């Protein structure tokens, strides 16, 4: 491909790297010179030159990682690459970046930086070894493994510890948070600290790979001494998996107080006072009594929420909960108990840095408890953030805990303010799913406050979707609006079983709710048993995510059933995954308090929330789910959408075509015979 004569020398150098026999052809045996990838890289190169903001949708298989890493390396500028999660973060740093560096003959100083809870804390590890107060024998065994690892490893990344699960109960004992870290000045192990070593390396690096949570935190806390200047000033910021940013940013720009966090703080205080200051308890109460007073009142708080109609899995706006004022009174009692505990330990903190830090955190939690007890006492009161945006106060429940949330209806102005704090920086937002029908980016741009500053681009996938995949919407589907969830799933599986059997398993069933997922797993196992098939059925929650995926891949004829966390970030090439079934269009659940508040806010501004917010949100989620099917030029498969509302003219508001036009150009059918023909005769079915 020949670069335009109007392009700068730098842009032409970037383009040349993607030529059929250019440097990148050596980076991987599967390299193919692709127009979309080259244009992507060209856009990034121009962004570096002009400090512009680019929003890029690059379809699956475009090769977006090489497309943004190549100009970044050739420019030799300071770059921050942020992703949605740790798996892609690790892949970028350990696989993609080294491959591009080797192909280009460039060695950049690079750093991988994660949140502090991902690194072993020497201080907490040694205190735990000394105190010996562990919840189980298994935790003690895990502690030994972690100690051996920490003494021999230079990075201290807990993901590299062999034989200790990521959800092991030991981790909070040996890692730190911003709330319990003593800081460089007070920690006796500051010189050995894995967190600060990683941050020091990141500040000197040319390319730093982070995740979105850490990136947003680093931007927002530059004025806070404890974590100031976590990241270097960047010439370019690349936000990969940018479709996740609205969800992450919405949580980030809000605030949360959880009963679990309060209890954990109290447990820390109890552990320290009982092991180090047992004889220093007040005369009228023991340390155990002071701590349990807080914990028991919070337990009563949870019981009352259930009595008021807030059950496990529920989320409700506080103004919608009748009698929530009573919960405010209980939370006030808990805050009084917390205040008594804090005052009791005050004389001890001068000579105990750990207890001092725990007391500081208790003070912050106490302030939050008092704010929330007042909020629950006046649930109808409306509040706004500093940008004048309405803030919704809502409660979510797990089995044993409650979370109290303050969420702004929009964070666009807040994010724009963070971006403006970095003048002269080029910004690239990219994902395989950012636009809706007709390459419309308006929803993403509005959510992120980019409408007036960003240029948008779409480079479609190089895959031949029309011949590689067929979209099948069965003719006799149950009605998603009329049938109950169990009946709906049973009807859907009945229609899909012939396809599953045709393809001999090799299926992902992606559900929009946990109840649907659980029932789908039960029904599928019944079908497998009754038909004497050897398909294994794996269900989310029965093992951790990575093992489920690996087992599915190895089996070769398996069925995996999952909810929204399996709709993205999974890359299974080849025949092992040849059928994807999506139970319903992934609209946000009815009753979601933030969605309801946002819908009302859009109405108040004269808009249509269903057309402007809910459909784009669901369309982007659907694109993510369907994207699991075709992952390479040689893949073939069938996509089943079990929701007839996706068909044109099947819904009252006729939105089905908006979903279909948001998807790649799959062949389509409603007839099973056509699916059989497609699958059995790949060379002649057309």
Tokens representing residue 527 in the block: 């079908």
How many other CB atoms sit within 10 Å of the CB of residue 632? 13
So what's the pLDDT on residue 226? 47
Name the band, by pLDDT with cuts 50, 70 and 90, for residue 3: very low
The whole-angstrom separation of Cα 153 and Cα 160 is 9
The whole-angstrom separation of Cα 248 and Cα 431 is 15
**pLDDT tens digits for 185-211?**
889 999 999 999 999 999 999 999 999
**pLDDT tens digits for 392-429?**
999 999 988 999 999 999 999 989 988 888 889 999 99
* Range 487-496, long-range pairs (CB < 8 A, 24+ positions): 488/516, 488/583, 488/584, 489/516, 489/519, 489/520, 489/523, 489/583, 490/519, 490/523, 492/520, 492/581, 492/583, 492/642, 493/520, 493/523, 493/524, 493/527, 495/642, 496/581, 496/640, 496/642
The whole-angstrom separation of Cα 94 and Cα 155 is 14
Least confident of 215-219, 547-551, 558-562, 668-672: 215-219
Instruction: For 44-83, give the DSSP string.
Output: HHHHHHHT-EEEEEE-TTS-HHHHHHHHHHHHT--EEEEE
CATH 3.40.50.300 region(s) of the chain? 1-107+205-253+411-462, 466-680
So what's the pLDDT on residue 534? 94
**pLDDT tens digits for 142-196?**
999 999 999 999 999 998 999 898 888 999 999 998 888 988 888 999 999 999 9
**Homologous superfamily of the 466-680 domain (CATH):** P-loop containing nucleotide triphosphate hydrolases (3.40.50.300)
**pLDDT tens digits for 488-522?**
999 999 999 999 999 999 999 999 999 999 999 99
Closest CA to 372 of 343, 334, 340: 334
So what's the pLDDT on residue 480? 82
So what's the pLDDT on residue 229? 64
**Homologous superfamily of the 1-107+205-253+411-462 domain (CATH):** P-loop containing nucleotide triphosphate hydrolases (3.40.50.300)
**pLDDT tens digits for 13-37?**
999 999 999 999 988 877 888 999 9
**Over the chain, what is the mean pLDDT?**
91
**pLDDT tens digits for 644-665?**
999 876 655 578 889 999 999 9
Percent of the chain with pLDDT over 90: 74
So what's the pLDDT on residue 652? 58
Dihedral angle, C-alpha 248, 252, 253, 255, nearest 10 °: 130
Structure-token match 């973060």, residue found? 89
How many other CB atoms sit within 10 Å of the CB of residue 387? 14
Contact 580, 619 (CB under 8 A): no
Q: Examine the pLDDT at 553 and tell me if it is beyond 70.
A: yes
Q: Examine the pLDDT at 252 and tell me if it is beyond 70.
A: yes
**pLDDT tens digits for 377-395?**
999 999 998 888 999 999 9
**pLDDT tens digits for 297-328?**
999 999 999 999 999 989 999 999 999 999 99
Sequence-separated (6 or more) residues with CB below 8 Å from residue 635: 463, 468, 469, 573, 574, 578, 629
Name the band, by pLDDT with cuts 50, 70 and 90, for residue 527: very high
**pLDDT tens digits for 343-353?**
999 999 988 99
What is the CATH code of the structural domain delimited by 255-408?
1.10.275
**pLDDT tens digits for 48-104?**
999 999 999 999 999 999 999 999 999 999 999 999 988 788 889 999 999 999 999
So what's the pLDDT on residue 1? 41
Percent of the chain with pLDDT over 70: 97
Name the band, by pLDDT with cuts 50, 70 and 90, for residue 219: confident
How many other CB atoms sit within 10 Å of the CB of residue 272? 21
CATH 1.10.275 region(s) of the chain? 255-408
User: Model's pTM, two decimal places?
Assistant: 0.90
So what's the pLDDT on residue 375? 97
Least confident of 51-65, 124-138, 454-468, 592-606: 124-138
Name the band, by pLDDT with cuts 50, 70 and 90, for residue 338: very high
Structure-token match 């562990």, residue found? 134
Contact 505, 557 (CB under 8 A): yes
């Amino acid at each position: 491909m020949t670069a335009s004569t109007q392009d700068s020398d730098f842009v032409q150098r970037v383009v040349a790297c993607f030529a059929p026999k250019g440097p990148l052809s050596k980076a991987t045996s599967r390299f193919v010179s692709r127009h979309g990838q080259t244009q992507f890289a060209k856009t990034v190169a121009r962004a570096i030159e002009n400090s512009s903001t680019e929003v890029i949708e690059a379809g699956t298989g475009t090769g977006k990682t090489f497309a943004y890493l190549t100009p970044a390396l050739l420019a030799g500028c300071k770059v921050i690459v942020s992703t949605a999660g740790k798996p892609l973060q690790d892949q970028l740093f350990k696989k993609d970046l080294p491959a591009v560096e080797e192909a280009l003959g460039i060695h950049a100083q690079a750093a991988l930086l994660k949140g502090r809870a991902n690194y072993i804390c020497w201080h907490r590890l040694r205190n735990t070894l000394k105190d010996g107060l562990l919840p189980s024998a298994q935790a003690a065994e895990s502690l030994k493994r972690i100690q051996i690892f920490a003494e021999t490893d230079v990075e201290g990344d807990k993901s590299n510890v062999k034989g200790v699960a990521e959800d092991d109960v030991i981790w909070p004992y040996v890692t730190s948070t911003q709330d319990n870290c003593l800081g460089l000045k007070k920690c006796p192990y500051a010189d050995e600290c894995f967190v600060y070593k990683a941050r020091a390396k990141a500040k000197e690096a040319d390319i730093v790979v982070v995740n979105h949570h850490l990136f947003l935190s680093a931007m927002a806390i530059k004025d806070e001494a404890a974590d100031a200047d976590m990241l270097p000033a960047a010439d370019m910021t690349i936000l990969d998996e940018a479709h996740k940013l609205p969800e992450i940013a919405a949580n980030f720009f809000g605030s949360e107080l959880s009963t679990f966090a309060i209890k954990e703080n109290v447990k820390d205080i109890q552990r320290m006072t009982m092991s180090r200051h047992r004889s220093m308890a007040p005369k009228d109460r023991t340390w155990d009594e002071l701590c349990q007073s807080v914990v028991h009142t919070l337990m009563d708080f949870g019981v009352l929420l259930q009595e008021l109609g807030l059950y496990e899995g529920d989320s409700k706006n506080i103004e919608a909960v009748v009698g929530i004022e009573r919960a405010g009174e209980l939370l006030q009692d808990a805050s009084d108990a917390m205040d008594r505990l804090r005052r009791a330990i005050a004389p001890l903190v001068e000579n105990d840095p750990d207890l001092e830090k725990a007391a500081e955190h208790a003070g912050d939690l106490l302030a939050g408890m008092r704010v929330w007890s007042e909020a629950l006492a006046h649930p109808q009161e409306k509040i706004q953030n500093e940008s004048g945006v309405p803030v919704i106060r809502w409660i979510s429940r797990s089995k044993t805990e409650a979370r109290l949330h303050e969420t702004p209806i929009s964070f666009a102005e807040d994010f724009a303010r963070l971006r403006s704090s970095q003048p002269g920086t080029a910004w690239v937002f990219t994902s395989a799913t950012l636009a809706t029908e007709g390459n419309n980016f308006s929803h993403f741009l509005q959510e992120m406050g980019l409408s007036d500053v960003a240029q948008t681009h779409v480079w479609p996938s190089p895959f031949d979707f029309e011949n590689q995949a067929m979209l099948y919407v069965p003719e006799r589907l149950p009605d998603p609006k009329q049938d109950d969830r169990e009946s709906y799933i049973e009807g859907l599986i009945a229609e899909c079983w012939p396809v599953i059997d045709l393809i001999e398993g090799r299926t992902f069933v992606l559900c929009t709710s946990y109840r649907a997922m659980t029932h789908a797993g039960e029904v599928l196992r019944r079908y497998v048993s009754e038909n004497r098939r050897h398909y294994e059925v794996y269900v989310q929650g029965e093992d951790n995510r990575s093992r489920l995926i690996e087992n599915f891949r190895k089996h070769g004829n398996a069925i995996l059933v999952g909810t929204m966390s399996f709709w993205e970030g999974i890359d299974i090439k080849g025949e092992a995954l040849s059928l994807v079934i999506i139970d319903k269009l992934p609209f946000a659940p009815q009753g979601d308090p933030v969605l309801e508040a946002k819908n009302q806010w859009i109405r108040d501004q004269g808009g249509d929330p269903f057309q402007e917010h809910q459909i784009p949100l669901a369309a982007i989620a659907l694109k993510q789910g369907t994207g699991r099917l075709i992952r390479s030029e040689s893949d073939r498969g069938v996509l089943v959408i079990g929701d007839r509302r996706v068909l044109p003219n099947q819904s009252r508001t006729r939105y089905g075509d908006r979903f279909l036009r948001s998807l790649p150009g799959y062949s389509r059918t409603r007839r099973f015979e056509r699916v059989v023909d497609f699958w059995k005769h790949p060379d002649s079915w057309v």
